[in-house]
Amino acid sequence: MNRPGPAALRVRRAVQAWDRAHGTGGPVAVALSGGADSLALLTGVLAAGLDAVALTVDHGLQDGSAAVAEAAAAAAREAGAMRTEVLRVAVEGPGGPEGAARAARYAALDAARGRLPVLLGHTLDDQAETVLLGLGRGSGARSLAGMAAWAAPYGRPLLGVRRADTRAACAELGLTPWEDPHNLDPRYTRVRLRTEVLPLLEEVLGGGVADSLARTAASLRADNDALDALAPAPSEADLEVEAVAGLPAALRLRALRTWLAGRGARALTGAHLVAVDALVTDWHGQGPTAIPGGSAGRRLQVHRTGGILRAW
């Protein structure tokens, strides 16, 4: 590889800062697609002096995907990864192609990582897109807080690095990243955010939108962490309404989210929580509220009976 330039140095410093805050200085696994973000991340990890295992997931969704995965693994070996592995998965199940692929990818990474943390190549631009998605879906401060730099076992060292920098870093190092055609497919909501919505916002608001959205996420994440620490975490199957009715809304909704998750709820939105909260704060004998359950196609029914909430 060529000598690092300014962009590659920014990537390396971001990895070093992440490792000081969240790592141990020990080996890590890197989720490597072969694209610019993950390839720059791997080179930054190695330049920071960390040993790396490169894990490449072949979703099998495109012609030639096996060759792309093998090329990514070869690039990792040449860069100096101590081990590489190609993980072939079957993409099936709920959530549409994007959701099913994501679930298969994370399951494969978790199974292959051993005890190592897995570093992901999400950038500041990805964070901005995530915040916009959460805003559009009305799913509350938790979604607007975006992605965490560390949520065991996954780390995201590049949340302060622009996508343009990962591309520039690859160019400086003489690396040719893979260009995923899905990243230009307007059928995907995130692609339209990236190619249409964010550029328009940058134009209308005079620039700096992506950075501002990322700062908003960081601020809300700090607020969320503080409120989560204050909120009770009910674990009993039955929840007494009096135990949460007197809490401020910010804490009450968090307590309800924790309780529902313990009952098998998944993919909760702000609307789901508001509906369950009405059983506590606006009770007038209404029937049960349905929320997504713990398996595909299943719905949990949340009932209030005699001052008790139950979900089944």
DSSP 167-190: HHHHHHTT------GGGG-TTSHH
Residue 36 assigned as binding residue:
yes
Ligand-binding annotation for 287, yes or no, is: no
35 assigned binding-site residue: yes
For 129, the 3-state DSSP assignment is: helix
| CA distance to 76, 161, 170, 215, 258, per residue, from 134 (Å) | 34, 21, 30, 15, 20
Contacts of residue 130, Cβ cutoff 8 Å, sequence gap at least 6 = 143, 146, 147, 217
Q: According to the annotation, is 160 in a ligand binding site?
A: no
Report whether 33 belongs to an annotated binding site.
yes
- Say whether 34 counts as a known binding-site residue: yes
One-character DSSP codes across 11-60: HHHHHHHHHHHH--SS-EEEE--SSHHHHHHHHHHHHTT--EEEEEEE--
Q: What is the amino acid identity at position 203?
A: E
Give 146's Cβ-side CA count (13 Å radius): 28
The annotation places the binding site at 33-38
The annotation places the binding site for ATP at 33-38
